[in-house]
């Protein structure tokens, strides 16, 4: 659908390259090409930083590659948080866990004993997340999360996006699981939506993979051998200088 014509359209500062979760095929080809390149040079896995590099290059954005904050890739006034997880079968995967940073209720709210009042701790964890969203949206709008599920052999992928948003703390109730971690359940459905680990303060969001997630495969390229690299560089023995120390006496 085309963008509607409005009398105050001149106020719009963001031009989205495509509607959310409607990723163009030419973008997928560029992303897939980046992954083929990484496999060709011998990479055994893809990191979140690799995913940010691939996406930013394909969309023409800037990869901030910062361990702090929500915005990883930016394009004008728009930003994406880049997440990747591994799964044995990305095409059939229905639920994933996204590590979404560290939330310390002790540092942020002065809660020294997280198990004393787990409801208060849970609200604090979501409060920290919500504040990070506020900071991101102060600088960028819209803010999306781009999620890549990769197979163990790095040949199959599932990709989808969702809007980054605040969570209403009153919609969730918190419990302690058998590992001593806090889990946040949606009151209306009973679904587990969050996990928070007191040791390390790691916050994880449980995410449902949408039915319309985009799936694609790439071919395994031939590995680039050491000899092929040296030959392409016209390497010979003159590249190596052996330093022989002379005795001073």
Distances from the Cα of 99 to the Cα of 35, 83, 218, 238, angstroms: 22, 8, 26, 49
**Mean pLDDT of the residues in the chain:** 92
Is residue 161 helix, strand or coil? Answer: strand
Inter-residue contact 188 to 171 (CB < 8 Å): yes
> Taking each helix axis from N to C terminus, what angle separates 48-59 and 25-40, rounded to the nearest 10 degrees?
130
Query: pLDDT per residue over 64-110, tens digit each?
Result: 987 778 999 999 999 999 999 999 999 999 999 999 988 999 999 99
pLDDT value at position 224?
Answer: 85
HEC string of 168-194 equals CHHHEEEEECCCCCEEEEECCCCCEEE
The token duo for 237 is 């023995």
- Report the C-alpha gap between 215 and 38 in whole angstroms: 19
Query: pLDDT per residue over 112-165, tens digit each?
Result: 999 999 999 999 999 999 999 999 999 999 999 999 999 999 999 999 999 999
Higher pLDDT, 172 or 248: 172
The residue with tokens 């016209």 is 234
Q: Where are the domains of the chain?
A: 20-230
- Report the C-alpha gap between 178 and 195 in whole angstroms: 12
Count of beta carbons in the 10 Å neighbourhood of residue 223: 11
Inter-residue contact 206 to 195 (CB < 8 Å): yes
Query: pLDDT per residue over 12-60, tens digit each?
Result: 556 789 999 999 999 999 999 999 999 998 899 999 999 999 999 999 9
Compute the average pLDDT of residues 217-243. Answer: 93
User: pTM of this prediction?
Assistant: 0.87
pLDDT value at position 4?
Answer: 62
């Amino acid at each position: 659908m085309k963008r509607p014509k409005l009398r105050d359209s001149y106020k719009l500062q963001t031009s989205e390259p495509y509607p959310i979760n409607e990723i163009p095929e030419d973008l997928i080809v560029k992303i897939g090409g980046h992954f083929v390149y990484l496999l060709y040079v011998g990479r055994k896995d893809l990191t979140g930083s690799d995913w940010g590099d691939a996406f930013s290059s394909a969309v023409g954005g800037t990869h901030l590659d910062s361990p702090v904050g929500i915005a990883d890739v930016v394009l004008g006034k728009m930003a994406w948080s880049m997440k990747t997880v591994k799964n044995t079968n990305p095409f059939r995967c229905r639920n994933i866990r996204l590590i979404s940073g560290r939330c310390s209720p002790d540092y942020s709210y002065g809660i020294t004993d997280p198990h004393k009042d787990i409801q208060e701790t849970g609200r604090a964890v979501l409060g920290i997340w919500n504040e990070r969203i506020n900071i991101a949206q102060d600088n960028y709008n819209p803010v999306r999360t781009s999620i890549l599920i990769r197979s163990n052999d790095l040949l199959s992928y599932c990709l989808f996006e969702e809007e980054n948003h605040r969570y209403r703390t009153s919609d969730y109730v918190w419990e302690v699981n058998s590992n001593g971690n806090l889990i946040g359940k949606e009151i209306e459905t009973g679904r587990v939506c969050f996990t928070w680990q007191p040791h390390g303060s790691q916050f994880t969001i449980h995410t449902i993979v949408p039915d319309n997630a985009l799936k694609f495969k790439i071919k395994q390229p031939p590995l680039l051998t050491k000899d092929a690299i040296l030959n392409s560089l016209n390497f010979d023995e003159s590249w190596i200088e052996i330093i022989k120390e002379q005795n001073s006496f």
